[in-house]
Amino acid sequence: MKIYPQVTVLFTIIGFMACNQANKTSKDSGQDKFAALPAYFSQENAHIRTNDVTLFKTVILNGKKDTASISGNDSATVHDLLKPFMDADLNKPSLRDEYDTSSLYDPFSGRKSVIYKSRGKQTNPSEVTMELDKQGNIQQVNIHSYTSNLVYEFRQDLFYQQNRQVRMTTYQKIAFLAPKELEVNVTIAPKKGM
């Protein structure tokens, strides 16, 4: 009869060790569950600033249009342009289990589309779609965000095409105030020789 208490203690210790190991594994694997968009856009930020490019920017705010040509070497402008993309970090602990992942594969070109879609109604971003080349490198990113309640509505669509284009459209409506609509289109082009 003295064997039973020892066996019970042994199994209890093994059970605690197994649970502890399972918790460590699930915590470690949850950190890299989604593509690291902040790291990708930090690399793109550096890539745009170090290459000899010009940014052709068009801004439309509530119907009023303004255009500008900016050097890609302007680090503040490039950072501000890519910041909304960098902020879309699906690997935040608060968002860890908030997205379903699906993908579509094109067997002819080898390209792949990866879609992260929110499980909740008010999770931001609500959807992220990435287009990957056959080597698995991100070529294009679409990010959609939506928030709505009794006093506030916010919609934002972000589009990034590597080495070509950035597009942002934002709609914001606060109760008793006129809505604000902002559209930013930026074309990334090599500088022309003098």
User: pLDDT for 142-186, tens place per residue?
Assistant: 999 998 888 999 999 999 999 999 999 999 999 999 999 999 999
Tell me: do 171 and 78 sit in the same domain: yes
Tell me: do 179 and 133 sit in the same domain: yes
Instruction: Encode 81-103 in three state secondary structure.
Output: HHHHHHCCCCCCHHHCCCEEEEE
Look at the chain and report how many structural domains it folds into. 2
Tell me: do 3 and 44 sit in the same domain: no
Tell me: do 53 and 139 sit in the same domain: yes
Count, residues in the chain: 194
Tell me: do 14 and 50 sit in the same domain: no
User: pLDDT for 94-109, tens place per residue?
Assistant: 887 888 999 999 988 8
Tell me: do 81 and 174 sit in the same domain: yes
Sheet architecture: strand order including 152-161: 64-71, 53-61, 180-190, 165-174, 152-161, 138-148, 127-132, 112-118, 99-105
User: pLDDT for 118-142, tens place per residue?
Assistant: 987 677 899 999 999 999 999 999 9
Tell me: do 25 and 49 sit in the same domain: no
Tell me: do 16 and 37 sit in the same domain: no
Tell me: do 76 and 8 sit in the same domain: no
Tell me: do 1 and 73 sit in the same domain: no
Give residue 114's domain range. 33-190
50: helix, strand or coil: helix
**What's the rounded mean pLDDT across residues 44-69?**
92
Q: Does residue 113 carry a pLDDT above 50?
A: yes
Tell me: do 172 and 114 sit in the same domain: yes
Tell me: do 100 and 123 sit in the same domain: yes
